[in-house]
Amino acid sequence: MRRRRRQRGHPEETAEDTLPLTALRAGEAGYVRELRLHDHTVAQKLLALGVVPGAHVKVVQRFPAYVLQIGFTQIAIDHHLAKAVRVEPDTET
């Protein structure tokens, strides 16, 4: 019997349970799973603002900038940064 080889691909293609933060609508929430940024300083800034793996994030507004609620803090980020944040949707909200 032949075994199927596990398909290797880009993590974005194989991670079925996560999606970019830009896929959430205003009022929807999710849990941060990873940051896909190549710029270390930008990643550090997001981490300092509370956008860390495991954080519960609610999208308050999408335009002109993404306004996120993390705990009692609201932050605004542009579309490019929001696209780099991978979240698992919160099905309870």
CATH code assigned at 78: 2.30.30.90
pLDDT averaged over consecutive 10-residue blocks of the chain (93 residues)?
A: 44 65 97 94 92 97 97 95 96 76
Q: Can you give the pTM of this predicted structure?
A: 0.78
Q: How far apart are CA 89 and CA 39, in angstroms?
A: 25
Q: Which domain holds residue 27?
A: 11-89
Give the CA dihedral 11, 12, 13, 15, nearest 10 degrees: 70
Helix locations, the chain, DSSP H? 11-14, 40-48, 79-84
The amino acid sitting at 33 is R
**Residue whose tokens read 């956008």:** 51
Residue 5 lies in a domain: no
Domain count, the chain: 1
The residues, any chain, with a CB within 8 Å of residue 37's CB and separated by 6 or more, are 43, 46, 81, 84
